[in-house]
Amino acid sequence: MSDSRERHFDTLAIHAGQAPDPVSGAVMTPITLASTFAQSSPGVHTGFEYARTGNPTRDTLERHLAALEGGAHGLAFGSGCAAMTALLQTLKPGDHVVSCNDVYGGTFRLLTKVFGPAGIDTTFVEMTNPENVEHALRPTTRLVWIETPTNPMLKVIDIERIADIGRAASATVAVDNTFATPVLQRPLELGADVVMHSLTKYLNGHSDVVGGALITSDDSLHERLRFLQNAAGAIMSPFDSFLVLRGTKTLPVRMQRHCASAAALADWLSSHAAVERIYYPGLKDHPQHELASRQMAEFGGMVSLVVRGGLPAARRLLERTELFTLAESLGGVESLIEHPALMTHGSIPKDKRLAIGIADGLIRLSVGLEALDDLQQDLDSALQESQRALEQ
Ligand X SMILES: *Cc1c(COP(=O)(O)O)cnc(C)c1O
As annotated, the active-site residues are 52, 104, 176, 201
Q: Using CA atoms, how far apart are residues 392 and 388, in angstroms rounded to an integer?
A: 7
Q: Does 152 bind ligand X (CB under 6 A)?
A: no
Q: Does 106 bind ligand X (CB under 6 A)?
A: yes
Query: For the window 153-192, what string marks contact with ligand X as x by the rule CB under 6 A?
Result: -----------------------x-xx-------------
Q: Using CA atoms, how far apart are residues 42 and 49, in angstroms rounded to an integer?
A: 11
Minimum CB–partner distance for residue 68 and ligand X (Å): 17
Q: Decide if 177 contacts 149 (C-beta within 8 A).
A: no
Q: Which is nearer to ligand X, 244 or 359 (CB)?
A: 244
Q: Does 112 bind ligand X (CB under 6 A)?
A: no
317 half-sphere exposure, CB direction, 13 A CA radius:
29
Q: Does 57 bind ligand X (CB under 6 A)?
A: no
Question: What 8-state DSSP symbol labels residue 327?
Answer: -
Q: Which stretch binds ligand X (CB under 6 A): 6-14, 22-30, 74-82, 255-263?
A: 74-82
Q: Does 366 bind ligand X (CB under 6 A)?
A: no
Q: Does 76 bind ligand X (CB under 6 A)?
A: no
Backbone dihedral angles phi then psi of residue 3, each to the nearest 5 degrees? -95, 40
First to last CA, the chain: 63
Q: Using CA atoms, how far apart are residues 76 and 237, in angstroms rounded to an integer?
A: 9
Q: Which is nearer to ligand X, 174 or 383 (CB)?
A: 174
Strand partners, 363: 305
Minimum CB–partner distance for residue 141 and ligand X (Å): 21
Q: Does 104 bind ligand X (CB under 6 A)?
A: yes
Q: Using CA atoms, how far apart are residues 65 and 76, in angstroms rounded to an integer?
A: 9
Minimum CB–partner distance for residue 212 and ligand X (Å): 5
Q: Which is nearer to ligand X, 308 or 364 (CB)?
A: 364
DSSP letters along 128-166, please? Answer: TSTHHHHHH--TTEEEEEEESS-TTT-----HHHHHHHH
- Total number of residues that touch ligand X (CB under 6 A): 16
Q: Using CA atoms, how far apart are residues 369 and 301, in angstroms rounded to an integer?
A: 10
Q: Does 61 bind ligand X (CB under 6 A)?
A: no
Minimum CB–partner distance for residue 150 and ligand X (Å): 9
- Can you give the binding site for ligand X, defined by CB under 6 A? 79-81, 104, 106-107, 147, 151, 176, 178-179, 198, 200-201, 210, 212
